[in-house]
Each structure stands twice: as structure tokens, then as C-alpha cells.
């Protein structure tokens, strides 16, 4: 009987073409949308954790109060010993020290007078101890001209800032700022190269400096604005992060001491938690929206198809098929059509996702004025959830459409369906 | 003594209308014997099709009793009515009503699929039925590739394939020309003789009437006469 129904479905274009096309496109679109959003979320998490939040972050309690301002005058002091303790207690984490600071970049002319000045966001990392930070921030691939700093006194400058201020590698610039004690400070650096991270907020005007140079410049010996921790697996592990944070804060943090360290998870920092929740919610709302629209469209398609087939139902009832069996056959047809459309849709959507996963999508136009740490090239991230969450609504929509449309079989008298044979 | 296959006692059928009930059939009393080739004859609106529908368990009487092959139509639930139709009754319609997406073989096979027969038996019975109506050369054709007469032959094969006890034929020649009508009627008469299947027609076509062995004339929902055909 199933084979018989299968033949009937695929020989009658009216029964399968429109629903299969609708389901196929919608499921394909859903797979792509889920993968796009997941890719965006992963990209955002990756970039934000690399450049800003880490998977976990240790700062002073006072610094945590004004986390978005990155007040390096509230930095953690005398951290060398403490850091050794953290590394021993939490071996699953990689630890790095960072200082974020704001400075004025002054470019002199041939006479030594100021040619141009501009504000830059200073980003102090450990460049010379090992190459872990260079790898983490992918400085090699971000380098657009010149080379990476090879010795103290060399810095990297973002390409856009370099172009705006007409600075080339090997030019000397001066960074002017204030020390942790509020005194004015300035120091000359040589620009070893220019970088472009593909993150609009960084590429507008950032300098990457070795943390030791910055400590000297800002009078922050053995201090760090932030200590970032990354899971060695490279992936953010939410549950483990919560456990580590709880343990750390119980062990090391003191509520009565504003300079005692406090650990924050990625989602506890700034609006990260809200943004991640919004991204998750948008996936949910998108699913509900698509399923609703798809259900209504297919319900209507099912109704129209059902009306067209009342005559056929009448014949089948007359031949001896029960209403229940006719209804079940309609549901099976819905299942066949939905499964076919959803399968093709998943294949189509996955193929597009795999393409964009490999080659990426240039999002630089949309990121131009963005303050969020999202990559200019976005890679879709396809996973089992995207496929299941797209496939199931695709199948359900046709089955539900058929179930609603087929209700008329039960509402109508058998003799009425039979009479409609003649119309 | 021939077996009674259908019995109607004091049966009436009403349809609700805006101005009260409309009685389409009034106090009908009839008996049909096995192997009959009979028909309801009358103008449109005389109640022929309604009577045929009730005999076919597609509808139920408002009053009285109808018994078909031992089944009390007024007491059957939907499943029992479906079983009666699928196992014992065959239908032939004015507009053939073949399933357009299936070919001749598959259309004839459909009633046997409902009876859950094994593939081998099904194949033998389908081919036998198609042979009865002389359409073996069209076995793979779809209804839109057949003439009206051929379609009605397929419909006869579909009604006869399970060798039902009773075939109900509603205006089976209404859409056919004279030659095809006579061919169809000859085919049905042969099957009636060879297989002993009872046929009840609903018709006002003189070509059909001349084939009937018993003519039941209906007027305004009542039996006006019930006579053997002239010459029987």
C-alpha cells in the first residue's frame, strides 16, 4: 500500500511539486540561517574571547566595577607569584597578562615637530616570552606590511590608522598617556608593521605593544590590567567555567578588599551575557516564525489539494477504504512529501553552508561602523542542531497541513463525498 | 429458491432543508435475489441514487430497515460499512471515477490492496478482471490515454475484480455513445451470467432498461411499479 501511495504522490505533480519546493526552500533557508547565526555567535565568541574577555578573566574587584572602561590604574599589582599559583591550581587553563590603555599617537615630521596626532587604543600583550599570544591573536596572518616586533621598542599599528596618518613600517612614533599614578608619560616606538584583524573596532586605530614596554611606560612593573584564561581545548566550556569561577572567587577573592582579584566568566563581562542570550533567542524566534509561516502555507496548499481530491476520496470510500485509512493515507503522503522536501532542503542548505564554511562571507561592509568584535569574514557553522531543527519542522509542516486539511474527510458525510464525484 | 441478498422494509429517507425535512424516499419495500440484473428507473429526483447509496452503505435510512448480505445498514458503524463495501460490494459510476494517476492495472488492483491480498493472488485476479473487459493491451495505460468506453470497462473490472456479491451501477452509460453503451452492458450481462454477480442499476437510459431483467420504477421517492422486464 505504501508503494501504491508513493507512486500516486510522485505521479501527481499537484500533490508534490509546490509542497516539496516550499519545504525545500524553507528548510534550506532554515539550515543556512541557523548555521549563519551559529557561525556569527562562534565568531563573536572567538574574537571577543581572544581580544577582550578570554574564556575567564581575573581583574581587581575595583577594575571589575568599571570593566568596560578598562581602568588600568586599578590593575592587579604584584601578580607574578599569584599567577604561578593560578597556573598550578587550574592546569586546564592557559593564562596570559594584558594591559589595555588609551594613548595619543604623535607622528613627527622631518624636523621633529608634530606632523599628525590621533587617538589609539593600546593593546599590550606578551610578544617575546613565547609565541602563544602571537598565535592566539593570529598576528602573522593579520600582518599587512612590515614584520612582527622583534625587540623591545617595536610596535604594530592598525592598517587604517597607519594609512590615515601616513605612517609606514620603520617610522618612529611617540605614544603619550598617563601612568597609573596619573603622571604624564611618553615613549618613542618604531612601527615594525601594520596589521588588519578584520575586526572593525580594532582596525580603526589600535597599537599592539609588548606588555613589558607598556609596564615601563605606564609605571606598572609586575602589574597587569587583566589576566585572561583560555581553556586549553580552545573551546569555551560553559559549565566548567562556572565551576572554576566559583572555586577561584571562594579561594582568592575578598569582598572587603577592592584590589583583591575576582574571576569573571565570558558571559559575565559587559553585555556579553545579554548578547549571547539574544543570539540564542533569535534562533528560537526564527524557528517559530518559519514554522508558523510554513505551516500556514502548507495548510492552505493541503486544503486546496484536499478540495481538488474530494472526488478521489469519494471513490476510495465507495470502494471500501475507511475514512480513517483515507485520512492516514493523506498523512503518509504529507510525510513522504515533507521528508522529500526536507531532505533536499537539508542537502541544499548544507551545501551552501559548507561552501560558506570553507570560503566565508565578506561582512566588512556591515562591520564598518560596528563596535562589536565580529570578524569581517564570517564562516557559517553547520551542526546537528541546525539540521534537526530545520528538518523536523519541514516534515511536521506538511503532516500538520495534511492533518488539518484532511479533517474535512471526517466532517463530510460519506454520501456527500460520494456525491462530489459527480461534480 | 434463490438467496435474498438485499431486503428493504418500510424504508424512508429524509434530507433536512431550510423549510423542514425533504423526504427523498418514502416507505420503500423491496427484496433482491442473488444473481438479479435489476434497476431503478425514473426521472431525475425520483430517489434512484439515494436508494443505491443506502444499499451501498454510503448512506443510512431515516426510517425502516435495510439489510444487505446480512448486514443491517442502519446499524453499521463506519468500519463495518467500509468492510461491507470492500469485501462484498462493487460500484460503477457515471463518470468512471478512475484514479487518474494510476494505470489500468493499478486502478483494478486498488480494491484488492484494501483486502490485503498477497501479491501473487492479486496479480492473477487483476489480470483476470482486465481480460474479462478485453483491455489486456491497455494494461499500462493511464485513464487519460483511454476512450470513455475503455474507462468504463476499467471501472467494471475494478468493481468486479474482487468478485463481489452485488454491483451497484449508477447511470453507467450516461456518458457513452450507443455502441460503447451496448458493449458495456453486454460485458456486465456476461459477468452476471458467468459469475452469478447481482447487479442493481440506477438509470433512465432506454438502452440500459432494455437489458434489465427487473425494472423498479420510482416516482417522487416511491415505488410506482416493480415488474419483470417484458419478455422475462
Over residues A207-261, the pLDDT tens digits come to: 999 999 999 999 999 999 999 999 998 888 889 999 999 999 999 999 899 899 9
Residue appearing with cell numbers 541546525:
A386
CB B148 within 8 A of CB B93: no
Instruction: Report the alpha-carbon distance of residue A60 to residue B173 in Å, rounded.
Output: 97
Indicate whether A423 pLDDT > 50: no
The more confidently predicted of residues A351 and A325 is A351
Per-residue confidence (pLDDT) for residue A372, from 0 to 100: 56
For residue A197, what is the DSSP state? -
Q: Do A318 and B85 touch (CB under 8 A)?
A: yes
Q: What share of chain A is helix, strand, coil (3-state, %, to 5)?
A: 55, 20, 25
**B119 contacts in chain A (CB < 8 Å):** none
Per-residue confidence (pLDDT) for residue A5, from 0 to 100: 81
Residue appearing with cell numbers 477504504:
A321
Per-residue confidence (pLDDT) for residue A199, from 0 to 100: 74
Q: Do B86 and A317 touch (CB under 8 A)?
A: no
CB B126 within 8 A of CB B136: no
Q: What are the phi and psi torsion angles at B197 (to 5°)?
A: -75, 135
Q: What are the phi and psi torsion angles at A72 (to 5°)?
A: -70, -15
For residue A173, what is the DSSP state? E
Nearest to A397 by CA among A329, A330, A339, A327: A339
Of B82, B113, B158, the CB nearest to A322: B82
**B81 contacts in chain A (CB < 8 Å):** 414
Instruction: Report the alpha-carbon distance of residue B212 to residue B232 in Å, rounded.
Output: 10
Q: Do A319 and B114 touch (CB under 8 A)?
A: yes
Cell numbers standing for residue B167: 454491483
Q: Do A315 and B99 touch (CB under 8 A)?
A: yes
Cell numbers standing for residue A371: 563596535
Indicate whether A287 pLDDT > 90: no
Q: Which stretch of DSSP H or E encloses residue A128? A: none
Can you give the pTM of this predicted structure?
A: 0.70
Nearest to B188 by CA among B225, B215, B149: B149
Q: Which stretch of DSSP H or E encloses residue B113? A: helix B104-114
> A142-173, pLDDT tens digit by residue?
899 999 999 999 999 999 999 999 999 999 99
Per-residue confidence (pLDDT) for residue A417, from 0 to 100: 56
User: pLDDT band at residue A369, thresholds of 50, 70 and 90?
Assistant: low
- β-bridge pairing A361-362 and A377-378: antiparallel
Average pLDDT across chain A, whole number = 86
Indicate whether A6 pLDDT > 70: yes
Indicate whether A344 pLDDT > 50: yes
Per-residue confidence (pLDDT) for residue A422, from 0 to 100: 47
Instruction: Report the alpha-carbon distance of residue B204 to residue B43 in Å, rounded.
Output: 6
Residue appearing with cell numbers 430517489:
B47
User: pLDDT band at residue B231, thresholds of 50, 70 and 90?
Assistant: low
Q: Do A414 and B58 touch (CB under 8 A)?
A: yes
Per-residue confidence (pLDDT) for residue A296, from 0 to 100: 78
ipTM of the complex: 0.82
Residues of B with CB under 8 A from a CB of A: 53, 56, 58-59, 78-79, 81-87, 89, 91, 93-95, 97, 99-102, 106, 109-111, 113-114, 158
Q: Please compute the mean of the pLDDT values over residues A337-361 and round it to a whole number.
A: 92
Amino acid at each position: 500500500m505504501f508503494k501504491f501511495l508513493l507512486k500516486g504522490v510522485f505521479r501527481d505533480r499537484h500533490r508534490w511539486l509546490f509542497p516539496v519546493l516550499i519545504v525545500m526552500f524553507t528548510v534550506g533557508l532554515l539550515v543556512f540561517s541557523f548555521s549563519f547565526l551559529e557561525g556569527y555567535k562562534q565568531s563573536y565568541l572567538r574574537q571577543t574571547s581572544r581580544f577582550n574577555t578570554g574564556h575567564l578573566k581575573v581583574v581587581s574587584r575595583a577594575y571589575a566595577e568599571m570593566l568596560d572602561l578598562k581602568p588600568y590604574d586599578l590593575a592587579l599589582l604584584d601578580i607574578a607569584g599569584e599567577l604561578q599559583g593560578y597556573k598550578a591550581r587550574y592546569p586546564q587553563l592557559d593564562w596570559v597578562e594584558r594591559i589595555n590603555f588609551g594613548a595619543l599617537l604623535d607622528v613627527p615630521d622631518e624636523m621633529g615637530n608634530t606632523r599628525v596626532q590621533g587617538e589609539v587604543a593600546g593593546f599590550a600583550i606578551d610578544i617575546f616570552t613565547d609565541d602563544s599570544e602571537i598565535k592566539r591573536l593570529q598576528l602573522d596572518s593579520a600582518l599587512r606590511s612590515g614584520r612582527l616586533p622583534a625587540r623591545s621598542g617595536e610596535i604594530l599599528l592598525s592598517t587604517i590608522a597607519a594609512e590615515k596618518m601616513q605612517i609606514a613600517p620603520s617610522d618612529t612614533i611617540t605614544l603619550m598617556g598617563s601612568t597609573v599614578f596619573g603622571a604624564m608619560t611618553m615613549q618613542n616606538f618604531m612601527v615594525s608593521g601594520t596589521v588588519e584583524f578584520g575586526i572593525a573596532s580594532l582596525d580603526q586605530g589600535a597599537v599592539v605593544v609588548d606588555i613589558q614596554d607598556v609596564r615601563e611606560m605606564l609605571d606598572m612593573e609586575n602589574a597587569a590590567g587583566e589576566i585572561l584564561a583560555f581553556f586549553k581545548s580552545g573551546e569555551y566550556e560553559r559549565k566548567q567555567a562556572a565551576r572554576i569561577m566559583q572555586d577561584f572567587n571562594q579561594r582568592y577573592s575578598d569582598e572587603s578588599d577592592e584590589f583583591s582579584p575576582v574571576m569573571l566568566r565570558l558571559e559575565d563581562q559587559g553585555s556579553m551575557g545579554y548578547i549571547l542570550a539574544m543570539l540564542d533567542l533569535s534562533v528560537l524566534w526564527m524557528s517559530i516564525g518559519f514554522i508558523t509561516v510554513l505551516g500556514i502555507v502548507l495548510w492552505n496548499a493541503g486544503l486546496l489539494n484536499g478540495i481538488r481530491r474530494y472526488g478521489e476520496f469519494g471513490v476510495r470510500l465507495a470502494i471500501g477504504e475507511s475514512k480513517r485509512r483515507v485520512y492516514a493515507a493523506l498523512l503518509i503522503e504529507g510525510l513522504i512529501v515533507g521528508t522529500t522536501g526536507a531532505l533536499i532542503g537539508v542537502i541544499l542548505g548544507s551545501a551552501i553552508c559548507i561552501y560558506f564554511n570553507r570560503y566565508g562571507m565578506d561582512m566588512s561592509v556591515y562591520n564598518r561602523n560596528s563596535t562589536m568584535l565580529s570578524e569581517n569574514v564570517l564562516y557559517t557553522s553547520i551542526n546537528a542542531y541546525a539540521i534537526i531543527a530545520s528538518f523536523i519542522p519541514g516534515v511536521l509542516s506538511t503532516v500538520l497541513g495534511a492533518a488539518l486539511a484532511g479533517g474535512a474527510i471526517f466532517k463530510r458525510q460519506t454520501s456527500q463525498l460520494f456525491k462530489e464525484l459527480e461534480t | 429458491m434463490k438467496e435474498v441478498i438485499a431486503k428493504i422494509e418500510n424504508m424512508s429517507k429524509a434530507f433536512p432543508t431550510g423549510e423542514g425535512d425533504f423526504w427523498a424516499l418514502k416507505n420503500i419495500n423491496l427484496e433482491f435475489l442473488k444473481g438479479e440484473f435489476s434497476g431503478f428507473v425514473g426521472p431525475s429526483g425520483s430517489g434512484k441514487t439515494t436508494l443505491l447509496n443506502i444499499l451501498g452503505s454510503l448512506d443510512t435510512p431515516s426510517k425502516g430497515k435495510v439489510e444487505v448480505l446480512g448486514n443491517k445498514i442502519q446499524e453499521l458503524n463506519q468500519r463495518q460499512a467500509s468492510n461491507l463495501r470492500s469485501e462484498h460490494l462493487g460500484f460503477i459510476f457515471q463518470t468512471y471515477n478512475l484514479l487518474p494517476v494510476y494505470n489500468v492495472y493499478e486502478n483494478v488492483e486498488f480494491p484488492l490492496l484494501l483486502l490485503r491480498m498477497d501479491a501473487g493472488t492479486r496479480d492473477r485476479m487483476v489480470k483476470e478482471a482486465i481480460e474479462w473487459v478485453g483491455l489486456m493491451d491497455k494494461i499500462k495505460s493511464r485513464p487519460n490515454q483511454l476512450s470513455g468506453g475503455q474507462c468504463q470497462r476499467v471501472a467494471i473490472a475494478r468493481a468486479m475484480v474482487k468478485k463481489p456479491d452485488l454491483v451497484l451501477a449508477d447511470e453507467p452509460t450516461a456518458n457513452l455513445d450507443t455502441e460503447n453503451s451496448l458493449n458495456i452492458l453486454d460485458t456486465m450481462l456476461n459477468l452476471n451470467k458467468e459469475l452469478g454477480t447481482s447487479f442493481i442499476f440506477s438509470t433512465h437510459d432506454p438502452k440500459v432498461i432494455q437489458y434489465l431483467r427487473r425494472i423498479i420504477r420510482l416516482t417522487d421517492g416511491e415505488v410506482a411499479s416493480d415488474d419483470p422486464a417484458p419478455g422475462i
